[in-house]
Amino acid sequence: MELQNCRNCKKLFNYITGEIICPVCRDKLEEKYNQVKAYVRENPGAHINVVSEECEVSIKQIKKWVREERLVFSDDSLVGLECERCGKIIHSGRFCKECAGGLSDAMEEAFRKPTFSSRRRTSDAKMHFLE
């Protein structure tokens, strides 16, 4: 463990892992998350600016929860984020379904390829020594 200053309240606390916020601020943030989640559930068509004002949470924090897939807006919602790869409007996560599938396929392909060179060795190849 190490001592860190909380990014929100600037108090010193024992930092273990994750965001650099103290347990008190983390609990307050979790309460705000539950408030936003309830508001979005009751008002599915609300714009992100309205959600931010009504729940007194920054738009940046709401977008962070959406990117983490903790908060999901309906497809008919006015809230949308851009896919980090192609820019298409999405309602949850970091990538659209097409880009996520493409990235997954690329990762699988990368792990299937051999990591060594497959060049042919000739029978007259010999070991050389330095003198």
What pLDDT, in 10s, does the model give residues 58-80? 999 998 998 888 888 777 776 67
What pLDDT, in 10s, does the model give residues 90-109? 888 889 889 988 888 888 88
Predicted structure pTM score: 0.69
Residues 6+ apart with CB under 8 A from 6: 12, 13, 20, 21, 22, 25
Q: What are phi and psi of 109, to 5 degrees?
A: -65, -40
* Residue type, position 24, single letter: V
What pLDDT, in 10s, does the model give residues 1-36? 789 999 999 999 898 888 889 999 999 999 999 999
Q: Where are the beta strands (DSSP E) in the chain?
A: 2-5, 12-15, 81-82, 89-90
